[in-house]
Structure 1
């Protein structure tokens, strides 16, 4: 049987690279659409479930993530995969009324909820948040545009993590930081077993009470398919960041990558 190069002798190496790059695009688009639909479905109860599942601790974790981003008064910052806006609101308090927060997500429903939460808040700083529907692997911003980036529970759910890291590195100013908060993919058997038990016996049953059991069953596999702390540090450095450090906390259940452009 002839090889591809024998069948297409006139195609240049550049065209061949493009062929291999795009031949799986329909599958990726389908998976992205399914994931987008999932987050649209859970949007109405997303915040309530976060409070239940974490016993409110997610608010502490998010404050830690924002602190690690290095955001300060007057900065122009990005909250990527912003969901219903928790990190964006915390960032707005850090950068103040003279700063700017751009919050991007691919779920229109999540963005609508975030915008409605913004309308109900009265601090002047909350007016500095702009909600953008977009794709984490193709950010609609110029190079070296932001003073800091946060992404909470989002990198795990994108289909092309290295490309997302490259995009974050591209739009960050030199010396600025990205803070990536998510479930930790532990390498310790006890932590792995406990995490699985919590998902099977707490998260999925509670979500089922909201009619969203099947939507939250994906969580276990998404963590297993995620990256360990060492792997996150590696893809950050490969994406162009100068330093990268991953921190584990809450008994190894959570993790935060801090990478400097």
Structure 2
């Protein structure tokens, strides 16, 4: 099992290239799209200090494999300009950085300043030359501060599930992608299989929440179960992508059906 990750909306852009700025956007003022968004932002700020360690423990390290698959399916390559939306503490951004190299750019966007601070700290601790291409941006998944057709690839890791308006977020992903480019979206799978759904529910109740309680995060990780139940099935995600304008969309199950990855082509 992998833990929650950040991913809703705030419009406080901090560090980004002027070339990517859209006219008429206000980036100085904090904005939440709903009280629910504000509550979730606070939740992700609280879990940020132990987030990476819990991910490793809860998934037995398997989340790293799933994230590599997600990045691979984005087809990001050397020299590309890419977006990691709802970047959390930066795992996908670091993988993308290595894919695109020093001639490429990685824009890593999240609504939680605490998660971004954690990501920036990790960048300093595990320094690689290519990591210079990463820019950490506090921003709104529903109102991205980039021009149309700006990116060669977009990834989202454990973030779309937590976005208040998933349809709007998918439309924004479509808008900023170049024609022919891909979005690769990794998250928990809302399985239509009764066995898989029951196993997932059991694991959250009997493994995830008890372990998180050792860090004083019982209530924070109880949220995980309800967020999955309110998420979309693979078929619904494919439909959502096509309604946003993507010409092709395919959802793949990972981790025995516990996880899923949507690949959508603009």
Fold in common (TM above 0.5): yes
Match of 1:59 in 2: 64
Q: Does 1:99 align with 2:104?
A: yes
Match of 1:247 among 245, 249, 252: 252
SS in 1 for 2:34: helix
> Quick check: 196-205 or 26-35, which moved more?
26-35
C-alpha change, 1:62 and 1:27, in structure 2 (3 Å) is: closer
Alignment coverage as a number of residue pairs: 236
1:121 shift after superposition: 2.6
The Cα of 1:124 is off from its aligned counterpart by 1.1
**Counterpart pick for 2:153 among 148, 152, 158:** 148
Which residue is equivalent to 1:3? none
Query: Greater RCO between the two (CA within 8 Å, min separation 6)?
Result: 2
1:47-126 matched pairs, under 5 angstroms? 47-126=52-131
Match of 1:131 in 2: 136
Deviations 1:133-167 (A, max 9, x none): 01101101000000000000000000000000000
Gaps of 5+ in 2: 1-30
Q: Does 1:260 find its partner at 2:243?
A: no
Are positions 1:196 and 2:226 aligned together?
Answer: no
Structure 1 pair 247–45 and aligned structure 2 pair: CA distance change class (3 A)? same
**Secondary structure, aligned partner of 2:256:** coil
| Structure whose alpha-carbon radius of gyration is higher | 1
Compute the displacement of 1:122 (Å).
Answer: 2.7
User: Are positions 1:46 and 2:46 aligned together?
Assistant: no
**Separation in 2, partners of 1:204, 1:79:** 28
Distance (Å, rounded) in 2 between the aligned partners of 1:89 and 1:130: 11
CA distance, structure 1, for counterparts of residue 104 and residue 39 of structure 2: 35
The reply on whether 1:221 has 2:229 as its aligned counterpart is no
The CA RMSD measured in Å over matched residues stands at 1.1
Deviation of residue 251 (structure 1)? Answer: 1.0
- Could you tell me which residue of structure 1 aligns to residue 36 of structure 2? 31
Q: Secondary structure at the match of 1:251?
A: helix
Q: Which residue of 1 aligns with 2:243?
A: 238
Map of 1:168 onto structure 2: 173
TM-score of the superposition, structure 2-length normalised?
0.87
Partner of 1:179: 184
| Cα distance in 2 between the residues matched to 1:116 and 1:68 | 27
Query: Aligned partners of 1:153 and 1:114: how far apart in 2?
Result: 15
Q: Which residue of 2 aligns with 1:8?
A: none
Q: Specify every segment of 5 or more residues in structure 1 that has no aligned partner in the other structure, as ranges.
A: 1-25
